Structure 1
Amino acid sequence: MSKFQKGDRVAYRLHDGQLTPNVGIAGEVSTGGSVHVRWPSGATGWYDPEELVHEVPTATTRKVRQRSTTLTTAEELINGDRAATYGDPAENFGRIADLWNAQFGHKLSAKFTATDVALALVHLKLSRLAVTPDHADSWVDGCGYLALGSELAT
């Protein structure tokens, strides 16, 4: 019997004993004990149970995992063709500039803060939503930036 069951959250142990920051979901377990895992990127594969550990979330691993997932997803998104979804970048960035000027005009003689950056990224999502309000990903991203901003502001 395998130490893993379908639905378990697992991390991959590297050869040096370190764990990868991404946590996958265990699927099927073969009669020989191998575990089929689906990773956040969508990749899947069979693993020897000795290569896997049950996730033991800590504040640090949760932050690292979330950052890694966010960065991987962001990389995939920014390298895709966004023009077809959001329109001409000059128009989109023009709308963003207008929003930034309205939000940060009183701060032009001061440096931006991390909270300002979070607010600016929310404006980016608002600009995109002005063109495609039914695009769920922009809503999700906007909520993510708001959550980060609330963390930074406190």
Structure 2
Amino acid sequence: MTEGNVFSAADFSEFPNPEGTAERANQFVKGMAEIAIAAGYEREDVVSVDERAARQAAPKSPETRQGILDAAAQAVTVDRAATHGDAESSFATLAAVWSPLLGVPVTAPQVALMLASLKIVRAWGNPGHTDNWVDLAGYAACGGEVAQAGET
């Protein structure tokens, strides 16, 4: 098996290779990742070999405002969109869930503001952790787009 919690179809190369084995191996790897996440591993710790390589190639800590904005753009347009789907749907779903829990109507732009406030609190406690700033910029961008589209 490859290093750590990383799985790949190559881990199963010793098995006979009848038609469709690669697809079944990829499905197995995805299933193992879902099990690991359900068992309490963080999503960030359970990645494919391709994801791991992409993360290692990416700059680790953007230290300039442009670097933070670039990282946020990558996160909200590629990385998290691929993992979690589009922000519009996620924010609308969260609004639908949070409204009855909070006892007040919540809109999709308000979801973005609440998620941004989470990152503000985290940045307050650990201002040197760049990911908080990247995510804050990402939530601001997504929230602004959702609000401009008039989504609730």
Which category describes the TM-score, using the shorter chain as reference length? Answer: 0.3 to 0.5
> TM-score scaled to structure 1, two decimals?
0.35
More helix by share: 2
Structure with larger RCO (C-alpha < 8 A, sep 6+): 2
Q: TM-score with structure 2 length normalisation?
A: 0.35
Larger radius of gyration: 1
